[in-house]
Structure 1
Amino acid sequence: MTVLAPGLADVLAGLDIAAFAPRGVAVVPVSEVPDDAEVVPNNLAAREGLALVRIPGADGPGLTGRRAAALAEVRLAVLRQMLELAVMRLSGRSFAGVPLIEQQLVIGALADVITGAELASSLADDAPAAARHEWLTEAGWTVTKFFGAEGYIADHPVRSLYVSTLVADVWIARDAEGGW
């Protein structure tokens, strides 16, 4: 299991979930499911120790400010874990006798993800959360592609990147035009 569930637990610690759940929906650690919440089955979230829930009557603002920044840091930690696994995978596979990790397109994609991760990590907590989360989602999809078909298997660790996106989609408000 990745750092996603414990990290989200830290982000949500002391928060009234029902008061902040946007559109009455939340992703929470399984141990933190509110009593009045309806658990919506989600196999990938469950494998990460998380639950997708509906909370009747709730319509909060989602996570903002420091908590949104803290969630970005959790997602960044998940991204780094999966990037490390991807590098190991790419180092052990080859195409035309050349390890995939040495292929120019792979090197470029890795450089983009690593550079972006460093940039996202260095942003101040008051930087726009939406932009940081949008980048993390895009980087997550790039890293997922490094796993090829393995990246689509529910019991593969890369599922944490899918669930990380779900967490951000639920907790971070989008603008009026549907973007981040």
Structure 2
Amino acid sequence: MADAAAEPLADPVTAPVTALGADPLPAALDVLRTARESGLAAALARAVRHLDFTAPCSDGGLCVLPARTAPDLRGWLLAGRVVPVERATVRPGPRHELAEREGLEVLRVVPDDTAGPGPGPGSAPRGPGPRSAQDRLDLAGTLFAALRAGLAEALLERAVAHVAGRRSGDRPLLERQLVRAKVADCVAAVRACELLLTTSGADPHAAHELHRRLDEADAALTNLFGGAGYLADHPVRSLYVSAYVGSLWAPSPRDPGEGWS
């Protein structure tokens, strides 16, 4: 496991953020560390800051954010363009109990089409930041993959402690060959995701592959907790919630036919 205490967690308000268009790796590692040390909501807030206070939405306008984050936003990434906050109406979205337990809220963003033509795909909302909606979408996919990798790493430590503290007959559960094999598979999956993240940069194809691999790692981690891993009050719910949020945040690859080994 990486040493979470090796580097102090940056203050979520005053810490600098990466300018859009710059090397995305420092931003991704910041989000990964925040997820590992402080959880889903804190890491999602950091990702929003690295996106210059814009938040991705589904094509239908659904967005998931840490509670009370919306008033700080400058724009919404919606249907391939940036919609400034003054050109959209925000309403409560469908309730999601597990997301609420993680300190998140679901919103529905409705562009105000009566206000005249909005900014196109190459436009940006008011304030500093990157140039295009596609730049933000690509970065969002990378940042959210980093967030999920950080959560998986933190839950992996909990899972190992869980099986180490349980017994099967007269032996610790962790000594059982099948359990050890499952733990080894989870470690390999999480490490592979971290390696791919640090070597691929912001390539949208890599982000898509990361999310696919993280789906598999999350399922294996949940299984290590046994029946407890399916309870709403268990910390492993953050993996399920992050997969749901990622379905709104992470863009589809531009060329699904391009694969990664």
Distance 1:175 1:147 in 2: 32
Q: Work out which structure has the larger RCO, using CA pairs closer than 8 Å and 6 or more positions apart in sequence.
A: 1
Q: Percent identity?
A: 32
User: Is there any run of 5+ residues in structure 2 with no aligned partner, and where?
Assistant: 1-36, 72-88, 113-132, 257-261
Residue of structure 1 in register with 2:97 after alignment:
43
Are 1:28 and 2:69 counterparts? no
Task: Identify unmatched segments of 5+ residues in structure 1.
Answer: none
- Larger deviation: 93-102 or 148-157? 93-102
1:59-118: CA deviations, max 9, x gaps? Answer: x87963333212111111111111111111101112232222122222122112211211
Given that residues 140 and 249 in structure 2 are in contact (C-alpha distance below 8 angstroms), is that contact kept between their aligned partners in structure 1? Answer: no
Output aligned runs, 1:5-84, within 5 Å: 5-13=41-49, 14-17=52-55, 20-23=56-59, 24-33=61-70, 36-57=90-111, 64-84=137-157
SS of the equivalent of 1:67 reads helix
Structure index of larger Rg: 2
The structure with more helix, counted as a fraction of residues:
1
Alignment of 1:124-135 (within 5 A): 124-127=200-203, 128-135=206-213
- Give a deviation string over 1:9-31, Cα, whole Å, max 9, x none: 111122333xx412211111112
Counterparts in 2 of 1:25 and 1:54: CA distance versus 1, 3 Å: same
In 2, Cα distance between equivalents of 1:126 and 1:51: 27
Question: Which SS does the other structure have where 2:105 is aligned?
Answer: strand
Give aligned pairs, total: 177
* Matched position secondary structure for 1:37: strand
TM-score, normalised by the number of residues in structure 1: 0.85
Q: How does 1:150-169 map to 2 (within 5 A)?
A: 150-169=228-247
